[in-house]
Amino acid sequence: KINTDYFFDEAAFNTHDGGYVPLEVYDAPEVPLAIPPLLEPDQETATDAYYTVEAQAGETQILPGAKTKTWGYNASLLGKTIVYHVGKHNHVTLKNSLPELTTFHWHGLGVSGPYIDGGCHAPVYPGEESKIEFTLHQPAATTWLHAHPCPSTAEQVWHGLATMVIVKDEHEESLPLPRNYGVDDIPLVLQDRRFHENNQWDYREDYDPDGVQGPTALINGTVNPYFDVTTQKLRLRILDGANRREWRLHFSDNLEFTQIAGDSSLLPEPVKFTKLMLTCAERAEIIVDFKDYKEGDVVTLFSDDVPIVRFRIHDFTPDNTVVPDKLIDLPKEEADPDLPVRAILMSGMDEEVMLNGKKFNMQRIDATQPVGKAQYWDITNSNDMVGGMVHPFHVHGTEFLVISRNGHEPYANEHGYKDTVGVNPGETVRILVRFAQTGVYMYHCHIIEHEDGGMMAQIQSYDPAEKELKKYKLMDMD
Ligand code: C2O
Ligand code: CU
């Protein structure tokens, strides 16, 4: 079966928002798609790996003429791609060379909160560094790193603080899938920006409390990119790294493609598409097969009707590998019968956004859940103002399962682990959440201006054997 629609409620697409900024083709020459280099470990042994991740300011030649002032991780814009291996013990030095406080949030890594996961309670001050250590026990996945200081996450991400983090494990490595980074395994970070005078970005000027947008697609930090295809199949690791924009992806010729992974794991079974929509912070790994094309052809990836990447086909050797129809066995999980269903309400637009009727407070623990126990969370989007909007709901420090949408089956590509799920207006999405580690975890809408605007809360995962809830040092808004 080939899925030929975007699944989500058409009436709630961001195109219907009064403040919607349509994508436009920027009048600049085509350039090769930037492929971020891999971050080399400072040191590596059979059991341990050491990395330094530096948040820095710089200038990037994005357009002809003036360079754009940008921020990045170990790079002037976005960052080097980080690869972690499951089971290895990682030691990461987080270095802040920016003129302001930042945090290093590992979106999608199963690390403990509120410090190691780099949410708002783990500031690194300008000129300082901090060190974290963790070992991952989670399936292979495409995750990411972004800044998360409250309430300036959106502005820092807009400056460029976002990069891809690939988690590898032996199971994934045993499958016949493309994994030659930069050749047939390609990161695609999808963002949008507006270029002002002198090719600069101006977050304040473009500010919109429902999410900042720009008309120019920025793919891995490049405008009008092309990629030279030298293999029959490509694996694209796509991340919606935009503050606000949904991406409605499809190829020229309605080329069919296969999704093999969602946010936090492979899909149990591959799913075929001609159209795929991603909401903010979601990831999809897809396999595109160019078997019906020949040297000199160009295959274009579009969002809505705007071309965002051109794949230039070169000569390739035939590749007869088949994507397996079983990609991963996920353990059957049931909700703990003693735990009630947790209700979460996302409401409002603009400055009115709230979670369960409240604005985020860094010092307030909004909910608790026993560590290791699975609980249903019902996430409702009450938003029926002017058609409403899709809110992408994200939880830190866990991989969840999507159980149902308004009591119906989740979408065909929602059967793997996820950490972000788009919730349509008037819809209740049931997810099954389990925290593997104690700690404090944030959950929020991933339209980043909604998160900064207070559509966020935090939960403490605790060990029931402890007599009293552990106290964590939590930052306050200042
Ligand atoms: Cu990707 Cu709390 O965020
Ligand atoms: Cu939202």
Tell me the CATH number at 214.
Answer: 2.60.40.420
Does residue 249 form part of some domain? Answer: yes
Same structural domain, 150 and 209: no
Per DSSP (E only), the strands in 244-295 are 247-251, 257-261, 266-273, 276-278, 283-289
In a domain, 469, yes or no: no
**Ion ligand 2, residues whose Cβ is below 5 A away:** 391, 445, 447, 450
The answer to whether residue 472 sits within a structural domain is: no
The model's pLDDT over 302-352, given as tens digits with 9 standing for 90+, comes to: 999 999 999 999 999 999 999 999 999 999 899 999 999 999 999 998 889
Is residue 471, in this structure, part of any structural domain at all? no
Number of C-beta neighbours around residue 315 at 10 A: 9
In the prediction, which pLDDT does 387 show? Answer: 72
Residues 155 and 207 grouped into a single domain: no
On whether residue 2 sits in a domain, the answer given is no
Buried-exposed string 176-207: b where 16+ CB fall within 10 A, e elsewhere: ebbeebeebbbbbbbbbbbbeeebebebeebe
The rounded Å distance from CA 58 to ligand 2 centre is 30
Which residue range(s) make up the domain with 186? 177-313
Does residue 56 lie in a domain region? yes
- Whether the CB-CB separation of 288 and 234 falls below 8 Å is answered with yes
Considering only CA atoms, which of 281, 280, 445, 448 is closest in space to residue 379? 445
Q: What is the pLDDT of residues 444-459, one digit of tens each?
A: 999 999 999 999 999 9
Beta-sheet strands, E only, within 88-175: 89-96, 105-107, 129-135, 141-146, 162-168
Closest CA to 282 of 166, 376, 142, 383: 142
Residue 108 alpha carbon to ligand 1 centre in Å:
8
| Residue 7 belongs to a domain | no
* Residues 186, 155 share a domain: no
**Does some domain include residue 6?**
no
| Rg of the chain on CA atoms, in Å | 21
Pair (31, 149) in one structural domain: yes
Among protein residues, the one with the nearest Cα to ligand 1's atom 3 is: 107
Note the pLDDT of residue 477.
65
Q: What is the pLDDT of residue 385?
A: 67
Q: How large is the average pLDDT for residues 240-259?
A: 98
The answer to whether residues 454 and 353 touch, using CB atoms and an 8 Å cutoff, is yes
Q: Are 80 and 160 found together in one domain?
A: yes
Instruction: Judge if 210 and 117 occupy the same domain.
Output: no
Q: Specify whether 209 is located in the same domain as 267.
A: yes
How many angstroms separate the alpha carbon of residue 355 from the centre of ligand 2?
A: 10
Give the Cα-Cα-Cα angle 21, 23, 26 (nearest 5 degrees).
120
Q: Does 307 share its domain with 439?
A: no
C-beta of residue 311 within 8 angstroms of C-beta of residue 188: no
Beta bridge partners, 408, equal 405
203 CA distance to ligand 1 middle (Å): 19
Would the pLDDT of 105 be above 80? Answer: yes
* In a shared domain, residues 169 and 68: yes
283 and 254 part of one domain: yes
ipTM: 0.98
* Number of domains the chain contains: 3
Is the pLDDT score of 384 beyond 90? no
Same domain, 157 and 189: no
Mark whether 23 and 154 lie in a shared domain: yes
- Is the CB of 281 inside a 6 Å radius of any atom of ligand 1? yes
391-395, strands of its sheet edge to edge: 367-370, 456-462, 439-445, 391-395, 420-423
283 CB under 6 A from ligand 1?
A: no
Ligand nearest to the CA of 419: 1
Last residue of a domain, one of 123, 140, 173: 173
Beta bridge partners of 94: 53, 130
Q: Which atom of ligand 1 is nearest to the CA of 108?
A: 1
